Structure 1
Amino acid sequence: MQKDQLFTRRRMLLAGAAALGAAGTAGLVMAGSEEAPPRPAVLAGPQARQVLKPSAYRLQPLTGYGPPRTPPRRLTVRHEPILRISTRGRHMMLTFDDGPHPDYTPHILDTLAKYDVRAMFFVCGEMAVDNKELLARMADDGHVVGNHTWTHPLLTELGRRDIRDEMERTSDVIEDAYGERPQWFRAPYGAWNRAAFQLGAQMGMEPMAWTVDSTDWEEPGTRTIVDRVESGAAPGVVVLSHDAGGDRSQSVRAIREYLPYLLDSGYRLTVPSRRT
């Protein structure tokens, strides 16, 4: 009973916080041309980063707890990921991949809370399953949690069944901890293929990429990360950063510098509104 009440409370908080964080942002996301024919995905972003090896074993998400699974709403299959958000009103969006990590994610959440800013977190299932309390905090703080697969594989090298497995089990863990299934998906390494677009749409998830890569995955130094974000700031920009996948202490320090700068520059850091 207490479990069901907790999930109900989180869903109410999600609805209220998303409405505040995305007020006036109807039609927020913008994609590239949807008329382009499907084409092989091209690696984008952290191309030089070593591909993570799938885990030797895969943890199964908890089942049988909390409210019943919510059937996903099927979406139109896109041919390209969403790259930016609406340019109206100097909106920008901060996104963080690969977490949650117990050493870095709490500090990023603390900074976002200090400035009352919402962000998107694209989480990996094998990280989320051991850090569910951080997903619960993201829900309570009004952040949006997306699916970043279970083991962070290169999807273009996997068969359709394995891609579905990576995505579906991660969505199950997110629902268990966050309170609802994710409505957004990001392919590891920015490597998209037709199966990822199709399966994501079947699971009710829109594909989200990015506009500006902070390059924090290279660990180039805090100053470089800050300069990259501040110089790339513009209406509609989606910023890629990371809260796991390596030493992210530079990412933690960088957001403490660039976030107040962005706000002082008149940018509104927002997240997509929830679909109902």
Structure 2
Amino acid sequence: MTSTVKTGSWEQELHSKRGSRPAVVAMAAAAGTVAVGLLTAFIGTSSGAVASGRHPGWEESVRAARVPQQAAAPHGKPKAAPHSAPKVPPKVSRTISHHTAKGGRTVALTLDDGPHPEWTPKTLDLLRQYHVKATFCLIGPNAQRYPDLVKRIVAEGHRLCDHSVDHDTGMDHKPVAYQKRQILDAQKMIEKASGGARVHYYRAPGGAFTPDSRRIAAAHGMRPLGWIVDPGDWQRSGSEEITRQAEEQTKDGAVVLFHDGGGDRSESYEALRQYLPWLKEQGYGFAFPKA
């Protein structure tokens, strides 16, 4: 720059005379001020950087985004981010639900012990064919093992039920702390596998409810879930016998127990394939259990 060359010439003259003239000192001060001013102007013009040190173009981005006035806090302390409200479980009854929420000529189909990599997808396909919504009572580790199936259950409009961690049918003879772990650990596994969907019910393995297990489940938003119709498909008595038992036990507003997990459920699947159209022929609709 021209100012730099000039600065060099008068500096040489100044040092050679070693401050013998006050005028020279005054000239040096004036020239230095001019040089600093020119240098500052050059930097500000060529870089385009803002004084805050933010990346060039930051201000233009903010203006383009049209940030609301109240979003900026130029004065005082920045506002703290609002705290999200703690998740409060919905209030549910601790009494065991045996009936549909709608009542009348409806049934609530429930399926236990899944998800199973073979029988759950087939059961879901069958339910979709007949436009039926069901409740799936899942074993915690099974849900953890097959999260895609849990997500499919939710995505297709069915409900989730906690069926414990280990399917211990003797839970009613175990300490309360053990019952609590079995219920709540399974709930967490199912919720995680589903992507955060609500678990509406808790079904004790083998119906081994206790006052404590019902209280624990209800306190965490899960209605204890029983049944009225049990065709005994878990005994593998043959699809025809399973179907006969289901039809004979069916009554208005009943919760129906079937299985889509826990081993080979080919008989359960075949019985369900016969039972669903029979229910339609008898004028039954489908509903969820009372929650």
Q: What TM-score do the two structures reach when normalised by structure 2?
A: 0.66
Report the Cα distance in structure 1 between the residues aligned to 2:193 and 2:87, rounded to whole angstroms: 14
Whose helix fraction is larger, Structure 1's or Structure 2's?
Answer: 2
CA contact (8 A) 1:86 1:235 kept: no
Aligned residue identity for 2:284: Y
Question: Do structure 1's residue 141 and structure 2's residue 156 form an aligned pair?
Answer: yes
Report the Cα distance in structure 2 between the residues aligned to 1:230 and 1:74, rounded to whole angstroms: 34
Report the Cα distance in structure 2 between the residues aligned to 1:138 and 1:192, rounded to whole angstroms: 25
Aligned mate of 2:260, from 216, 238, 243: 243
Report the Cα distance in structure 1 between the residues aligned to 2:93 and 2:232, rounded to whole angstroms: 32
The aligned counterpart of 1:117 is 132
CA contact (8 A) 1:91 1:270 kept: yes
Identify unmatched segments of 5+ residues in structure 2: 1-83
Compare relative contact order (CA 8 Å, sep 6+) and give the higher one, 1 or 2. 1
Within 5 A, what are the aligned runs for 1:184-263?
184-263=201-280
Secondary structure in 2 aligned to 1:212? coil
Aligned residue identity for 2:223: E
CA contact (8 A) 1:121 1:144 kept: yes
The aligned counterpart of 1:156 is 172
Deviations for 1:144-190, whole angstroms, at most 9, x for unmatched residues?
11001011112112211111111111111221222323121111001
Out of 137-146 and 155-164, give the one that drifted further.
Answer: 155-164
Report the Cα distance in structure 2 between the residues aligned to 1:212 and 1:268, rounded to whole angstroms: 15
Report the Cα distance in structure 2 between the residues aligned to 1:127 and 1:95, rounded to whole angstroms: 17
Q: Displacement, 1:86? A: 5.4
CA contact (8 A) 2:112 2:138 kept: yes
Within 5 A, what are the aligned runs for 1:1-276?
70-78=87-95, 81-85=96-100, 88-153=103-168, 154-178=170-194, 179-272=196-289
Deviations for 1:33-56, whole angstroms, at most 9, x for unmatched residues?
xxxxxxxxxxxxxxxxxxxxxxxx
Secondary structure in 1 aligned to 2:98? strand
Secondary structure in 2 aligned to 1:151? coil
Over the matched positions of the two proteins, sequence identity in percent amounts to: 34
Identify unmatched segments of 5+ residues in structure 1: 1-66
Q: Indicate the structure (1 or 2) with the bigger Cα radius of gyration.
A: 2
Q: What TM-score do the two structures reach when normalised by structure 1?
A: 0.70
Q: Displacement, 1:71? A: 3.4
Deviations for 1:50-89, whole angstroms, at most 9, x for unmatched residues?
xxxxxxxxxxxxxxxxx998432344543xx122225743
* Number of residue-to-residue matches in the alignment: 206
Report the Cα distance in structure 1 between the residues aligned to 2:280 and 2:85, rounded to whole angstroms: 40
The aligned counterpart of 2:44 is none
Q: Evaluate the alpha carbon distance shift between residue 238 and residue 75 of structure 1 in structure 2; reply closer, same or farther with a 3 A threshold.
A: closer
Q: Evaluate the alpha carbon distance shift between residue 75 and residue 237 of structure 1 in structure 2; reply closer, same or farther with a 3 A threshold.
A: closer
